[in-house]
Amino acid sequence: MSLTEPDNASERGPEETPEPGFPEPGLARLLRTPWSGSRPWILPACIALLVLVGVVDSLMVAHLSFWGLYLAPVGCAAWMEGSRAGYGMALVTAMGIVLIEIATGTEVMGRGVMAWNVLQSLAAYSAAAGMVGFLRERMEEGRRFAAIDALTSLPNRGSFIAALDAELSRSNRYGRAFTLAYLDLDNFKEVNDLEGHDSGDQLLKRVAETMRNVTRQSDVLGRLGGDEFAALLPETTFGAAKMVLEKLHKELNLAMEEGRWPVTCSIGAVTFETPVESSREALRLADGTMYAVKRAGKNGIQHAVWDGEWALP
Distance CA 24, CA 4 (A): 31
Looking at 149, 184, 219, 227, which residue is catalytic?
227
Give the phi and the psi of residue 123 in degrees, each rounded to 5: -65, -45
**End-to-end CA separation in angstroms for the chain:** 10
Fill in the DSSP letter of residue 300. Answer: S
Longest dimension (CA), the chain: 89
Long-range contact pairs involving 25-28 (C-beta distance under 8 Å, separation at least 24)? 25/217, 25/218, 26/163, 26/217, 26/218, 26/219, 26/220, 26/232, 26/234, 27/155, 27/220
Known catalytic residue: 227? yes
76 in Cβ contact with 82 (< 8 Å): no
Distance CA 233, CA 217 (A): 10
**Cα 312 from chain centre:** 32
Q: In this structure, are strands 178-186 and 264-272 parallel, antiparallel, or unpaired?
A: antiparallel
C-alpha dihedral sign at 153, 158, 163, 164: positive
59 in Cβ contact with 172 (< 8 Å): no
Kindly report the number of other CB atoms within 10 A of residue 242's CB atom: 19
Q: Is 61 left (phi over 0), alpha (psi -120 to 50) or beta?
A: beta
Strands laid side by side in the 178-186 sheet:
220-225, 228-233, 178-186, 264-272, 301-306
Q: What are the residue numbers of the active site? A: 227
